[in-house]
Structure 1
């Protein structure tokens, strides 16, 4: 315990720490549906897994079979809470827990390692709302939040070996079931922490490695679950894609405003640089080691692992957070300057929290506007949807549209078919069986937002997409964030039912009495 730990400062107040933890939930309190990119599609799956046994509509379009797979964290929690709260409120409650638990774990880890909370720790808190979380990778984010809690408990229980081993077993199984990449991160973090601690205690490399492996064996027990998990994709790709991997460090805070988000990453870079070149800040290697291990995995492992896209690159914000948490002031930094550093860190957290709250509030307004279309949709019908997107290299694409999967709410509120569910063998327990939809059975829904012609795999024009739609398979056409001048004409094929400036719902013309939904599926 160093000089900082011996002197209690205002930022060591436990009440302040818990206030900060609860403040981490603020951005998600107002929106009825957390505006995370992929989440509405996941919510459609949550609804199906809970209600398919009672809905002939859902049975007509989908099939769901429970199996043990390492990607079930939020799914299981929402499933358990749905009978009491319903899917929408249950999802919101679980998602709010993720950044709150992440922030709590960060503060607890820093306090446990340094004796008292260093003033620099506040700079890590905004990373609870990191890019993977904002993309809606909620099972992964839940796994990482649990992994950080597990790391904290591992450090805290260093002198209670049996209890630590039991805790490690429980958390390792829970994290594996939540998301296997989170379990891999847990192993990397604790292995590297233990190795650094053993070396710091003066052991030889061989003795340190042997002790580390033995103590970490409880973390390996989830390997037995590999024999029972659902089979899936085994492809690995994206090895050594340095350009793509380095971009994720610039995108730590990627949300809505590119200038603010990049400047926020620069603030963190400056803090880390000052730590390296100035003597008034120092690094605790037992905590820097897990950060370096995650960075190494980020750079070396493939981008896609076993059907999980952006697998290893999701480590970036957590690696940076751990590196920040490893920093503390040295004896050379005067108390008044430590206080100033803590104040700057809190101001940075407040700024990012305010920006995130405002950003999600704006997205919530968008959600409410577009979801009004569902008031004009009959229960259990088939909907073809298209969402506008900028070209990949367009600076406007930084604000990754939160509307990408909003149409998934049609499943929750109307038990509809929608071309919005993910298709990943083994990674998902949901099967879509609506062959009449052709290539639109899963996905295939992005179109150019501004009529731009993009390179590579960029979105098509809306008229090109509509020409490929098997209209007999669908009852409605739902457009989101698509310019009005590209909409189909209100004619015999498409009847305009509802619209805003950037969205519309059309009823697709059928033969008299015909519907995409067969009579046998009607209750």
Structure 2
């Protein structure tokens, strides 16, 4: 295994560029299958985000939506999807617009990994195509769509810095500043990923130039951070600044965050993919075919320190630390290439890559096809809801949503926003995190803190009296809501409050009840 801080002098042995383009296209088609065949993918936050996109696009011409919601456009490090999807929605329906945006994220990350690799080694290489099987991962299942777009943009930003590192400095800093501002509006953590990669790159550069005067080297090292200065005033001017105190660190979950890079639904698939890639890299290293850029060591060191130090929650954003390993994995792929010396190795690489991707896509497709059963049933239940209704979401199980197969249910009730212009308590309306707001008459009846919905037991004790330990948005719920979605229950489960709830529809893991208002006689 060799390290290459600069492009190799000899002509590299790799796939032809036309073959790399062909493989990229083939991999992109394969990775698109689950998205295109599931307009409502079972991702945790996805439907909630999609509902906000629909509100942005329809608010001015939908009286029911405008009765409940309004938009508060401001400087916010979480806006990329809000800016792109409503524009696409002008030409297609909101579900297709969401699919297009998701595939844009996939294309950005895969192409960004390839481009970063090209900027580091000076030649196009096929190895970064291994990014495709990693596009489906544990973090993607959460549905963090702005951050996912930002990962791809951060890869291109680091590639641009590498390309321009020896060019006139105004170009380098101008382009980097533009990327930083764009990444800020993707997600604050995406800007952090670029900062991490840039720090590693400049540490490597500092090591490469040892022997030259220290002062100018340090000056260049420190000045690399100048493009990040605009983040400070933007963050202070943003309502996100008000969430600076909502942070906490915990050691549990650090290993799980690393596992999320390869683990989606089935452990054995993750083990198989990891084993095949690991064995191939070891074999290539032993035969001196694996070339690792000198960026790799500082990248792993910086990423390791940052990951261990990162809190679990930053700016009231959950799973802050666990999002990092996925992004680092794509950076790592960008810093490696394999010398494919003979025809058998080149063909073998293409076959193994496509087989790995087929296994990953097959895993996702099989599970999503199974989960489509609840998607269809949930869509049918939404048809039973009266337009412009107020919907309370509650849990029957305190552990609801912890199983990856349950993630799609967590925010499924937001389909009622898209289809029935309803008020839904779990719609993302947190100041400093989203632009969506609820009008004052209804603001006290929705979750504005991104918390966990109430349990059935909590509803029962607040049916006629407010919560004893302080007001809750579900207090006196029979007066304020028209329907209750009870999630993570079972088909045929008994009605928890027959005096105030009338079953309307049910499916696997959910029930929809119509609220019998206090003024009406119990059925």
Q: What are the within-5 Å matches in structure 2 for residues 50-449 of structure 1?
A: 50-118=57-125, 120-161=127-168, 162-202=170-210, 207-230=216-239, 231-235=241-245, 237-239=247-249, 241-265=250-274, 267=276, 280-329=289-338, 336-337=344-345, 340-341=348-349, 343-387=351-395, 391=399, 397-422=403-428, 424-432=430-438, 433=440
Farther off after superposition, 82-91 or 296-305 = 82-91
Distance change (3 Å), C-alpha of 1:91 and 1:4: farther
SS in 1 for 2:486: strand
Q: Is 1:475 aligned to 2:482, yes or no?
A: yes
Q: TM-score, normalised by structure 1?
A: 0.83
More off after superposition, 349-358 vs 309-318:
349-358
Contact 2:202 2:221 in 1 (8 A): yes
TM-score by length of 2: 0.83
Q: Secondary structure of the residue that 1:16 maps to in structure 2?
A: helix
Matching residue of 2:3: none
Secondary structure of the 1:305 match is coil
**C-alpha deviation, 1:263, in angstroms:** 4.4
Q: Tell me, yes or no, if the aligned pair for 2:243 and 2:315 is still in contact at 8 Å.
A: yes
Q: How does 1:492-511 map to 2 (within 5 A)?
A: 493-510=500-517
Distance (Å, rounded) in 2 between the aligned partners of 1:257 and 1:288: 31
Alpha-carbon spacing, 1:302–1:273, altered in 2? closer, same or farther (3 Å): farther
Q: What's the CA shift for 1:378?
A: 0.9
- SS in structure 2 of the partner of residue 85 of structure 1: coil
Q: What is the number of equivalent residue pairs in this alignment? A: 497
Check 1:439–1:176 CA distance in 2 against 1; reply closer, same or farther (3 A cut). Answer: closer
The answer on whether the counterparts of 2:506 and 2:512 sit within 8 Å (CA) in structure 1 is yes
**Mapped contact 2:14–2:125 kept (Cα < 8 A):** no
Instruction: Assess if the C-alpha contact under 8 Å between 2:291 and 2:338 holds in 1.
Output: yes
User: Is contact 1:370-1:480 (8 Å) kept?
Assistant: no
Deviates more, 1:66-75 or 1:313-322: 313-322
Per-residue CA deviation, residues 358-397 of structure 1 (Å, 9 max, x unaligned), is 33343344322211111111110111223565748x9x82
Aligned residues of 2:57 and 2:89 also touching (Cα < 8 A)? yes
Aligned residues of 2:491 and 2:507 also touching (Cα < 8 A): no
Extract unaligned runs of 5+ from structure 2: 1-6, 464-476
Question: Counterpart of 2:4?
Answer: none
Name the SS of the counterpart of 1:172 in structure 2.
helix
CA distance in 2, matches of 1:335, 1:365: 46
Instruction: State which drifts further: 490-499 or 361-370.
Output: 490-499
Distance 1:193 1:274, change over 3 A: farther
Structure 1 residue 3 displacement after superposition: 7.8
Unaligned runs of 5+ in 1: 448-459, 515-523
1:466 to 1:292, Cα distance in 2 relative to 1, 3 A: farther
Measure, in 2, the Cα distance between the counterparts of 1:271 and 1:468.
59
> Distance in 2 between the 1:340 and 1:129 partners?
23
8 Å CA contact retained: 2:426, 2:450: yes
Q: What SS class does the counterpart of residue 232 from structure 1 fall into?
A: helix
Partner deviation per Cα, 1:6-35 (whole Å, 9 max, x = no partner): 334368533323433444333211112233
